[in-house]
Structure 1
Amino acid sequence: MVVPLIYTINNAFKPLDELFLFPPRYFVRNPTMDNFSDLFNLMANSWVPFSRYIFNTVFITLAGTIGHVILASAAAYPLAKHRFPGSVVIFTMIVLSLMFSSQVTAVPNYMTMSWLGWIDTYWAVIIPAFAYPLGLYLMKQFIEQIPDALLEAAKIDGASEYRIYWQIIMPLVKPAWLTLTILLFQTLWGTDGGNFIYSEQLKTMHYALGQIIMGGIARAGVGAAVGLMLMIVPIGLFVVSQTKIIQTMASSGMKD
């Protein structure tokens, strides 16, 4: 993981002549900021303000992440701690859905969004994120580890299901929903929404930066700078939170 990252960082600061050396040179010898200055100039000349792309990316990422964490945890609680008709079937379907990639579900998702009239809106990207099956699976596995006696004591004291969920369940499974937040944030941060969004003013930063580097060899250095900009936020989040991610993944398969 470290080697590609270091290589990308070096490429972002290489002048154009070093980018096309053969054999290629791993480390930059004459670092320059020209690639970044060219990138910012291209952003400034875009007919849609680049701040709009940033807003779209942040809005879609935050709305999708927060909505999914709340929905996944709220759905996982009854699946983990209540037995009702069909609960086993529902969880089995959730596990099976982990087998399908986004390419398999692209056409059904598009048909559903079209039927709802959400094509070319933010919701066409945000709402499908709510149904991220891995999140529900992780939350259920974590909630199952909470002792039933603790929840029963809360009910005896008069706590409602909603109070148990907010004041007992969510604090105890904090590593799980923090991990889920990070994983989904990284997923949505890198989406361009190209399957559902066509209006330029609704597209994300990932799409805008991708368009910038489609100018051929002359923009190869700019492309390296774009790659670094797109990587820096997800990698920073992962580095800060990798301990909790590993803890959550390990705990999700444990049983008392």
Structure 2
Amino acid sequence: MINRKVFKIKKRKPNRSRTGDFLIYFMLFLVAIAMVFPLVFAVSSSLKPLDELFLFPPKVFAQNPTLDNFQDLFVTMGKSWVTFSRYIFNTVFITAAGTAGHLIIASLGAFVLSKYEFPGSKLFFTIVVTALMFNGYVTAIPNYLIISKLGWIDTYWAVIIPAFAAPMGLFLMKQFMEGIPMSLIEAAMIDGAGLGKIFLQIVMPNVKPAWLTLIIFSVQSLWNNKAATFIYSEQKKTLVYALQQIQSGGIARTGQAAAVTVVVMIVPITIFILSESRILETMASSGLKE
């Protein structure tokens, strides 16, 4: 007779108590309120009439909401000798071209650095990581001198080309591509796939969360870029620059300034909301290695 022992599988109980769970969720709730409050207050302020904007203590929500601030903003922009649509075109073109170029260059560079070894590859990546430590203000003077020598002052390229070389995108894409097994690429090459097909149909779909996150960061950076250092012509100014000039118009334009804040933040927030799940997936798996 074979003695059979029955093993009972015990369910693992969480180490936290209900009190601990309550405290954790309560803290998360407070953090969520702290993060949402500025957005709610900004939107509410843009809907307040001028007399409510100067109330003390200020009230969070508008008592008599109105769209007059937005109407006044568009009237003010319409009086400019440069049309409102021109500012929008400048910003959209710079943002779209800079983001597309950044995505292409960062992805191609990350693919080579993560899957192939060549002389100086480690040194090059070390330089990229080191560049992450420098703030844009530190490199402002060298950037201006280089762009001036190239003859790009007062052109769109003065803002677009430097965006191609942002080190954050290359670093993020490389870290993600390292998680793709080399055996998968070698199998595709044995089946006759070229490097271009492997890159577009195998590598890029597998790192979709990474390049969506890269797009969001790039759009936020370029959309909020005033480009006042490099662009002097009014016809090439960005929307953010034009709107901030309205904000500096004094007390009479306080309502318009509140509306400007909402207009500027609409695009980055909308893109973030549409890609929120991908960003969370990127942050959750960026530190995992197989």
TM-score, structure 1 length as denominator? 0.98
Q: Match for 1:167 among 191, 195, 201?
A: 201
AA matched with 2:167: P
| CA–CA separation in structure 2 for the residues paired with 1:134 and 1:110 | 21
- Equivalent residue runs for 1:105-120 within 5 Å: 105-120=139-154
CA displacement, residues 45-88 of structure 1 (integer Å, 9 cap, x when unaligned): 01101110000000000000011101100000010000111111
Greater relative contact order (Cα 8 A, min sep 6): structure 1 or 2? Answer: 1
CA displacement, residues 198-237 of structure 1 (integer Å, 9 cap, x when unaligned): 0000010001111112210000000000101111111111
Aligned partner of 1:243 in structure 2 is 277
Aligned partner of 1:28 in structure 2 is 62
Q: CA deviation at 1:101?
A: 0.8
Q: CA deviation at 1:171?
A: 1.4
| CA–CA separation in structure 2 for the residues paired with 1:93 and 1:253 | 21
Matched, 1:201 2:235: yes
Matched, 1:133 2:194: no
AA matched with 1:92: T
TM-score, structure 2 length as denominator? 0.86
Larger Rg: 2
Aligned partner of 1:76 in structure 2 is 110
| CA–CA separation in structure 2 for the residues paired with 1:198 and 1:173 | 39
The root-mean-square deviation of aligned C-alpha atoms, in Å, is 0.9
Q: CA deviation at 1:253?
A: 2.0
Higher mean C-alpha deviation, range 215-224 or range 148-157: 148-157
| CA–CA separation in structure 2 for the residues paired with 1:33 and 1:240 | 26
AA matched with 1:70: I
- What fraction of aligned residue pairs are identical, expressed as a percent? 62
Runs of at least 5 residues in structure 1 that lack an aligned partner in the other structure: none
| CA–CA separation in structure 1 for the residues paired with 2:91 and 2:43 | 23
AA matched with 1:75: G
Matched, 1:50 2:102: no
Q: CA deviation at 1:134?
A: 0.8
| CA–CA separation in structure 1 for the residues paired with 2:273 and 2:180 | 28
Q: CA deviation at 1:250?
A: 2.8
Aligned partner of 2:18 in structure 1 is none
Runs of at least 5 residues in structure 2 that lack an aligned partner in the other structure: 1-34
Q: Which consecutive segments of 4 or more residues in structure 1 shift more than 4 A?
A: none
Higher mean C-alpha deviation, range 1-10 or range 241-250: 241-250
Count of aligned pairs between the two proteins: 256
